[in-house]
């Protein structure tokens, strides 16, 4: 049933729980009150070009192919600099075939293009479930909803979780599995370089026993895929696609279409990231900040929306196995660099975000000693 113009700003809770794609498909022209942010939290947008009011940022470029060649040491230094200064970088020449990327974006678009009743089969309030379709950020705790629908898929171990993944579109599982495997390999190669940049190992072949143990944990580590849908929004200056937040894992690999939306906080300002065709945006997560004892920074980021163009993104969040304890590497602690974070694990994180709005970097701040 379409939402009438009279009651669209006061849409019922049950209507809002169906998500923003449902609202958009019903032709709303005014933003429901539940989505309207307090004035200080609203994005600054330009009516003509809704991303132009905020300056754009070209993130440091990491040429993955160069990591495999004679320029590796130079690229490692660039990687360290990017993780320290920005907490973000873009990876080009990553080796993931273009057809794998295009097929993942295509099947994601088709998933959100299915009737609401099909998408709703995967709705769940359980934040630890294998498959979860939902809206906003955490619709059970968010005081103000954000303009996003999502599909979250636990990706490891694949043989156990795959039967629970969406069976429609009919090719969803096949294409998503291929993409998950490719992104996991890229993550492992990037983590090898990051460990080297921290001075923890030279390369995989030359690892110590301690290095080898954490490398095995990464290979058997957690992987969460989040497919995001941001439909056109009737009043994009009043809301956000995602609120300011940091990611909980070691690294997040983000695949996005050509529509601008991602912003990072850099030197106290919100900067729109220019998409680079065929690249991945990679960001440092809370676990890597903890593991590096604060040397590499997990940075606040958010998503703005627009009134004319839909946007799809696919994020894969990678970390150690869920049962592992995350702590600063002992090799990065000394008298000049005392331990800065307490131990944490996934259960603690899940309990934390299940009990409140998972905004900003509050969870990471709760782990700090200094």
Determine if residue 336 is left, alpha or beta; phi over 0 gives left, psi from -120 to 50 gives alpha, anything else beta: alpha
**CA 326/CA 99 separation, integer angstroms:** 36
Give the CATH number, domain containing residue 328.
2.60.120.330
Cα separation values, 354 from 51, 81, 324, 357, 363, Å:
32, 34, 20, 8, 11
> What's the CA gap between 280 and 184, in Å, rounded?
13
Q: Is residue 337 situated within a structural domain?
A: yes
Q: So what's the pLDDT on residue 214?
A: 82
278 dihedral zone (left: phi>0; alpha: psi -120 to 50; beta): left
Determine the pLDDT at residue 175. Answer: 98
From CA 89, how far away is CA 69, in angstroms rounded? 20
pTM summary value? 0.92
Cα 159 to Cα 65: distance, rounded to the nearest angstrom: 31
Residue closest to 34 by CA, chosen among 137, 125, 114: 137
Contacts of 187 (CB under 8 A, 6+ apart): 218, 223, 251, 253, 316, 318
Alpha carbons within 13 A on the beta-carbon side of 314 = 24
Read off the pLDDT of residues 4-48 as tens digits, 9 standing for 90 and up.
Answer: 544 566 677 788 889 999 999 999 999 999 999 999 999 986 555
Instruction: Count structural domains, the chain.
Output: 1
Inside any domain, residue 2: no
What is the model's pLDDT at position 142? 84
H-type alpha helices, the chain: 13-17, 20-25, 64-67, 72-85, 98-112, 116-119, 158-161, 172-197, 209-219, 286-291, 346-354, 362-366
Each residue's pLDDT tens digit, 266-323: 988 999 998 888 899 999 999 999 999 999 999 999 999 999 999 999 999 999 998 9
**Is position 165 within any domain?**
yes
Residue 1 lies in a domain: no
What is the residue range of 188's domain?
8-366
Residue 3 domain-assigned? no
Q: Based on the number of CB atoms within 10 Å of its own CB, is 38 exposed (0-12), middle (13-18) or buried (19 or more)?
A: exposed
pLDDT tens for 82-127 read 999 999 999 999 999 999 999 999 999 999 999 999 999 999 888 7
Task: Let me know how long the chain is.
Answer: 370
At 125, list the tokens: 């309030």
For residue 56, what pLDDT is reported?
80
The two structure tokens encoding residue 284: 């440092």
Q: 55 versus 263: which is more confidently predicted?
A: 263
> Using CB atoms within 10 A of its CB, is residue 288 exposed (0-12), middle (13-18) or buried (19+)?
buried
């Amino acid at each position: 049933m379409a939402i009438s113009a009279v009651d669209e700003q006061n849409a019922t809770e049950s209507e809002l729980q169906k998500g923003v794609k449902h609202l958009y498909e019903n032709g709303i022209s005014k933003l429901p009150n539940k989505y309207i942010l307090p004035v200080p939290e609203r994005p600054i947008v330009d009516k003509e070009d809704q991303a132009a009011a905020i300056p754009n940022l070209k993130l440091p470029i990491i040429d993955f192919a160069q990591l495999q060649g004679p320029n590796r040491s130079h690229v490692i230094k660039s990687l360290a600099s990017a993780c320290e200064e920005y907490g973000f970088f873009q990876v080009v020449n990553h080796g993931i075939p273009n057809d794998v990327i295009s097929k993942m974006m295509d099947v994601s678009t088709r998933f959100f293009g299915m009737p609401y009743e099909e998408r709703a089969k995967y709705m769940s309030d359980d934040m630890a479930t294998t498959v979860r379709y939902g809206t906003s950020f955490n619709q059970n705790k968010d005081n103000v909803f954000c303009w996003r629908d999502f599909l979250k898929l636990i990706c490891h171990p694949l043989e156990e979780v795959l039967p629970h993944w969406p069976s429609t579109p009919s090719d969803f599982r096949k294409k998503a599995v291929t993409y998950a495997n490719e992104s996991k390999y890229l993550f492992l190669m990037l983590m090898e370089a990051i460990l080297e940049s921290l001075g923890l190992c030279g390369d995989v072949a030359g690892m110590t026993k301690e290095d080898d143990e954490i490398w095995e944990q990464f290979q058997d580590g957690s992987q969460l895929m989040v497919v995001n849908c941001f439909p056109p929004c009737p009043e994009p200056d009043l809301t956000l696609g995602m609120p300011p937040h940091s990611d909980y894992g070691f690294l997040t690999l983000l695949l996005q279409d050509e529509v601008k939306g991602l912003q990072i906080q850099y030197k106290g300002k919100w900067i729109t990231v220019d998409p680079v065709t065929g690249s991945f945006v990679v960001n440092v997560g809370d676990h890597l900040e903890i593991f590096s004892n604060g040397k590499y920074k997990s940075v606040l980021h958010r998503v703005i929306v627009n009134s004319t163009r839909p946007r799809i993104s696919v994020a894969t969040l990678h970390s150690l196995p869920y049962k592992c304890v995350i702590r600063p590497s002992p090799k990065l602690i000394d008298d000049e660099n005392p331990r800065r974070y307490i131990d944490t694990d996934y259960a603690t994180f899940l309990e934390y975000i299940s009990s409140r709005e998972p905004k900003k970097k509050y969870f990471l701040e709760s782990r700090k000693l200094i």
